[in-house]
Amino acid sequence: MTTEPPLGVIPKFIHDERRAEDLVAAIERRITERLEIPLEWFEEYNNLLESQVKK
């Protein structure tokens, strides 16, 4: 009988990619509804892109 090791955490680069996709989707929803978009979302998205480019 082989036992599997416990699952770890999602690698940071995958987490960051998913977070960037979530931010894009949320921004698009707000645009569709003609609502304000929090500046923090743009800042976080830009920071995620910047960290991906550095790799």
**Contact present, 16 and 51 (Cβ < 8 Å):** yes
| Residue 33 maps to a domain | yes
| Residue 4 maps to a domain | no
pLDDT in tens, 39-49: 999 999 999 99
Instruction: Provide the number of structural domains found in the chain.
Output: 1
| Residue 20 maps to a domain | yes
**Contact present, 52 and 16 (Cβ < 8 Å):** yes
| CA separation, residue 41 to residues 4, 9, 23 (Å) | 38, 24, 7
| Residue 30 maps to a domain | yes
Cβ neighbourhood burial of 9 (10 Å; 0-12, 13-18, 19+): exposed
| Residue 1 maps to a domain | no
pLDDT in tens, 18-46: 999 999 999 999 999 999 999 999 999 99
Could you tell me the residue range of the domain that residue 38 belongs to? 12-53
Q: What's the pTM value of the predicted model, to 2 decimals? A: 0.81
**Contact present, 37 and 30 (Cβ < 8 Å):** yes
